Structure formats: C-alpha cells, structure tokens
A and B are shown apart, each in its own frame.
Chain A
Amino acid sequence: MTLRRRAVVTELLRERGELLVVAGLGSTSWDITAAGDSPLSFPTWGAMGQAAMIGLGLALAQPARRVLVITGDGEMLMGLGSLATIGVQQPKNLTVVVIDNERYGETGMQRTHTAHGVDLAAVAAACRINNTLTVSADLGPVREMAYRTPGPNFAAIKVSDEKLPLVLPPKDGVLLKARFRRALLGDSADVLPEER
C-alpha cells in the first residue's frame, strides 16, 4: 500500500512537543498546515531550494532544540548543495525529510529527477549526512530520526502522486517570522540579543 503525504506528515508531527518545523515551497507547506498550523512552523511560499538551509540556520542558532525540515523532492533538488553544506556543519539537532512524490505538484505534476532514479538519500549520504533512509512503508524509523537520533539526518519518504485540496498557512511573511520568534524566544523576540 502506497503512503499518502497528508497522513505521513500528520504522523511525523503527532505530539510534536518542542519540535521546530520548516516546510518547503508548495505541497509540504500545505501538508504541515493540514496537520495543524503552529507558530513553531515556518512554511515557505517562495525561496525555492532554501528549506534545508533555513533549517540549518535554525539548528545552529538553537542547538538545544530539534529542527525538522519537511520539503518536497523538487524543492530539495533545487538546493542539493545545501546537503553538502549541512554535511560540513554536522548539526546534531537537524533532520531533513523529503516527501517524494516524484512530481512537481504545483505546476502540473511533471516528473522530477527522482522519477528517473535520482536517489536523494544516496546524495545525502555522500554529503556526510550521518543517517539516511528511503522509506515507502513504516514511518517509525523516520520519527525516531526526527525526535531522537543525533543528526544530521535525512529521510526520503516515497508517497503517491495524488493532487490534494490546498490547506493554506498564513501568507504574510512578517507574521510567519514574528509569530515563530515569539513562540520560540518569548518576549525577548521583540528586542535585540544584546538588549535581552
């Protein structure tokens, strides 16, 4: 039985606790919103290819918190170099999960490179990402990775290429930024680090 993306993301974010979440442009931003919008989620509406790097910046700034990037195969393919950058930094608190439907879901379901056999988990492993997985059934190991295993970690989850109703997060970038910082940093989000 093929995995379905909304159920996958809902399972990954179940009882997410203190987890910090970044989602890539397109379907994965709708997926994390369908699972339950949270101020500690940063869904992107642009900057395609940067989800993993936003996750790295966050992981370096917040070494005591777990950071989970949930993005699509098309978005990850646009930023493959970021896997090399993450591999050099070795953040123990960062996991990147690719929801891989082998399609550009927002632009007409064109086949991505993964549909032609490009292996993202192998790329990640070659970039010195410590733990890598490709999963098409059991999500238990991915949850273990995201919440417990010292990183950097990477999982590609193969899902069906269904077209789903949009579940949209807020669009205003300033709101998304400000609510994330307040939820994470408390009142001190509104003052500069040297003024805290």
Chain B
Amino acid sequence: MQPDWPQEVHRELAAAGVRVVGYVPDAGHKRLIELCHGDRTMRAVPLTTEEEGIGLVAGAWLGGEKSVLLMQSSGVGNLVNVLGMVKVCRFPLVIVVTMRGEQGEFNPWQVPMGENTARVLETMSVAVRQAGDAQTVAGHVHAALGLAYETQGAQAVLIAQRVIGIKSFQEQRNQ
C-alpha cells in the first residue's frame, strides 16, 4: 500500500512548529495544501508567484516563526534572484517541490525547468534532497526542516513526478 505522503508531510510540519505555509498551487500539492489550510496552528498563504514566498519566509523568521514553501518545479525558476537574500542573510528555508517534466509528463513546456530544477537550486546554494518514492518524502522533509532550522541553511525536497502519478491533462483536471 502507498503511504499517505501528504498526511505524513503535514504531520512533520506540525511537529516542527511550522506556522506559515506559502504556496503556489500544484496538482501534486493539492492534498497537502488542503491539510495546511485546515490546520488552525498554521497560516496557509496563497502567493501570486513563487518569489513572494522568499520574502514571506524571511519576514516570518525575522518575527521568530518557522515557515515552509510549496511549489512545483517550474516555479523554482521564479526564485533565482531572491535566493540571493537567503544566502547572504542565511535565512532558514525549506521548499517542498513537486516535479514536472519527468516520467509521464504530457506538457513539453514543463520539461526545461523540470530537467534543471535541482541544478538551479544548487547553483543558488539550496541543498537538494530527492524523494524518489512515496515512502521517503516525509523523511526528507523531516531532515530538511532539521537542517534548515538547526544550521540556518536552505533546503529543497524534490518529490518525483512518479510519486505524484499524473499521466495526462485530463487526469489532472479530474483530480
């Protein structure tokens, strides 16, 4: 049986005391976003673009609160310049990324960022953890939260497209 990774990740966020969850929606994050909105200890903040999340995270930490960002791989491309602030100020950062442009992708326009998501993050000094199957997602998020907040580092967990399991545009629409 497949583990319920959105529920497990939500449990990790709650256990770590995450109070602010910034996101740009992705079909792969649908359930986790709903769980965060439903959690009264968290403020789920929809963003118009992923880079807003970096400002949100920085401000929340200046104010003493932990946060995470949820986005899809294409959105990582929108972060590049503002990740400079994360590096220079050593803001703790945890990004949970659902991958597109991998196995089963139906949209060729998702492929260029999908193929380069890890490289873009690493180029801007964000450590990348690859969650290749559903069993490992929560563990990677746990490790990322620990490292980010214990060592003031930037961490991203990439959840492989095969974990999300979207095969067609129609299936995504019907999700």
Interface residues in chain A, defined as those with a beta carbon under 8 Å from any beta carbon in chain B: 20, 22, 42, 44-62, 79, 81-82, 84-85, 88-89, 173-174, 176-177, 180-181, 184-185, 188-189, 192-194
A46 and B88 form a contact (CB under 8 A) = yes
Give the contacting residue for A56; candidates B16, B55, B89; CB below 8 A: B55
Q: Across the interface, which residues of A come within 8 angstroms of B19, CB to CB?
A: 60-61
A54–B55 CB distance below 8 A? yes
Look across to chain B and name the residue whose beta carbon is closest to the beta carbon of A80.
Answer: B48
Q: Please determine whether B62 and A61 come into contact, CB atoms closer than 8 angstroms.
A: yes
* Interface residues in chain B, defined as those with a beta carbon under 8 Å from any beta carbon in chain A: 16-17, 19-20, 43, 45-49, 51-67, 81-82, 84-85, 88-91, 149-150
Q: Which residues of A contact B89 (CB under 8 A)?
A: 173-174, 176-177
Q: How many cross-chain pairs have Cβ atoms below 8 Å apart between A and B?
A: 134
Q: Which of the listed residues A61, A174, A177, A194 has the most CB atoms from chain B within 10 Å of its own CB?
A: A61
Give bound CA distance, A62 to B63, whole Å: 6
Which A residues are CB-close (under 8 A) to B20? 57, 60-61
Can you give 12 contacting A-B residue pairs, CB < 8 Å? A50-B54, A51-B55, A57-B56, A58-B62, A61-B62, A85-B46, A85-B47, A88-B46, A180-B62, A192-B150, A193-B64, A193-B66
Chain A: CB-nearest residue to B56: A57
Question: Which chain A residue has the least Cβ–Cβ distance from B58?
Answer: A54
Instruction: Name A193's closest neighbour in chain B (CB-CB).
Output: B17
14 additional A-B residue pairs with CB within 8 Å, beyond A47-B84, A47-B85, A57-B67: A52-B55, A54-B56, A57-B56, A57-B59, A57-B60, A59-B59, A60-B45, A60-B65, A85-B46, A89-B43, A89-B45, A177-B91, A184-B62, A194-B17
